[in-house]
Amino acid sequence: MTEEPRPYTLVAELTYRCPLRCVYCSNPLDWARHGDALGTDDWLRVFREAEELGVVQLNLTGGEPLLRDDLERLVEGARALDLYTNLITSGVPLTRDRLARLKALGLDNVQVSIQDVTAAGSERISGHRSFERKLEVARWVKGLGMPLTVNVVLHRENLDHVADVIALAESLAADRLELANTQYLGWALTNRRMLLPTREQLDAAREVARQARRRLRGRMEVLFVTPDYYADVPKACMDGWGRRFLVVTPDGLVLPCHAAHTLPGLTFDNARERSLGDIWRESAGFRAFRGEAWMPEPCRSCERRTLDFGGCRCQAYHLTGDASATDPACSLAPTHALIEAARGEAQAPRTEVVYRAAHAADGV
């Protein structure tokens, strides 16, 4: 445990604005209160300071990063630092010309989100008619000779379509398919009754993905992320708090994960006021859950503590009210009954959905 924490990945949330209103959006519920305070030069400095700290991977995300009209300059700056740059996008506000420009400036990979395998299913989840558009964007990516990641967030309403999702990704010649089960934080926690699948659904989908992974080996990477609610051991959230990842929000907060600023009592610094290096090494928020000193039992004496780092702090807080509690997803957690009760709801009839707020006025 003497290994020095080193951030390998910077998650740059360029804006929280987005044309989609997905019911499981991981942006904060009060996203509209956070403006795009970081300008072009701020972001370029953030990239430079991140690279100096050891970052080699840059995820340009949001919200919808294409809504920033300085994206070209940001991609160019990232490439000058030799960062591997991944654009994580809905695809909606893109043109083929702009994509070609971004490629020429050094963009390495494009990740397009797809919500379901039909236009109607996609619209129900995203509150936006964009399915055909996304497929077109995915074809542009491959047409320009760029690598394509297709990301599909899985939940009760589309888990039974996983075979069709895989076939769709194959038809698009995707290089990587992320089948990422919903993590129940933010808007997804609000909509959990609608989204949480049954264990049978999940097991069937996992088996389909396993077979596809074997069949497509060397052609398409197939990733299947199990939801914590059915895992019985917590996931190594962010590979451990402040160990491998840096997240910078549109208003400049530097975080160990994209939801860390929803935890009360923690202080996070702003990239406009302090260097990334200082923040990474010294800031109270980053130090709060680094290492093992903060851990309660049963984590503290658990042999898995060096594998899962105590799980997800945000899940602990949002389910138990205590950010330093053992992640309730762990079957050893004293609060694990919360997870078991939620699983019971997965049998409940279809309920109303709450779309991500479109404007500040819709804010929760």
Give me the residues that bind other proteins (CB under 8 A), please.
6, 8-9, 54, 56-57, 59, 82, 84, 86, 108-109, 111, 145-147, 149, 170, 173, 175-176, 217-221
Give least dist CB 65 to other proteins, A: 16
Give min distance, CB of 298 to other proteins, in A.
Answer: 31
Q: In the complex, what is the shortest distance from the CB of residue 159 to other proteins, in angstroms, rounded to a whole number?
A: 22
Task: Report the C-alpha gap between 148 and 135 in whole angstroms.
Answer: 11
Nearer to other proteins, 93 or 147 (CB): 147
Query: Cβ of residue 307: shortest distance to other proteins, in angstroms?
Result: 18
Q: Would you say 180 and 149 are in contact if contact means Cβ atoms under 8 Å apart? A: no
Closer residue to other proteins in complex, CB, 218/349: 218
Strands 221-225 and 109-113 turn out to be unpaired
Cβ proximity to other proteins: between 65 and 285 the closer is 65
Output the smallest distance, CB 222 to other proteins, in A.
Answer: 11
Q: Which residue number, 8 or 294, has a Cβ lying nearer to other proteins?
A: 8
Query: What is the layout of strands, in order, in the sheet containing 109-113?
Result: 221-225, 176-181, 148-154, 109-113, 84-89, 57-61, 9-13, 245-248, 254-255
Amino acid sitting at position 222: V
Place of tokens 């929280």: 16
**Full DSSP string of 92-120:** TT--HHHHHHHHHTT--EEEEE---SSHH
The answer to whether residues 89 and 65 touch, using CB atoms and an 8 Å cutoff, is: yes
> Minimum distance from CB of 243 to other proteins (Å)?
15
Closer CB to other proteins, residue 12 or residue 220?
220
Look at residue 285 and give its three-state secondary structure.
helix
Residue 145 vs 349, nearer CB to other proteins: 145
Are 230 and 186 contacting, i.e. CB atoms less than 8 angstroms apart?
Answer: no
Eight-class DSSP state of 153: E
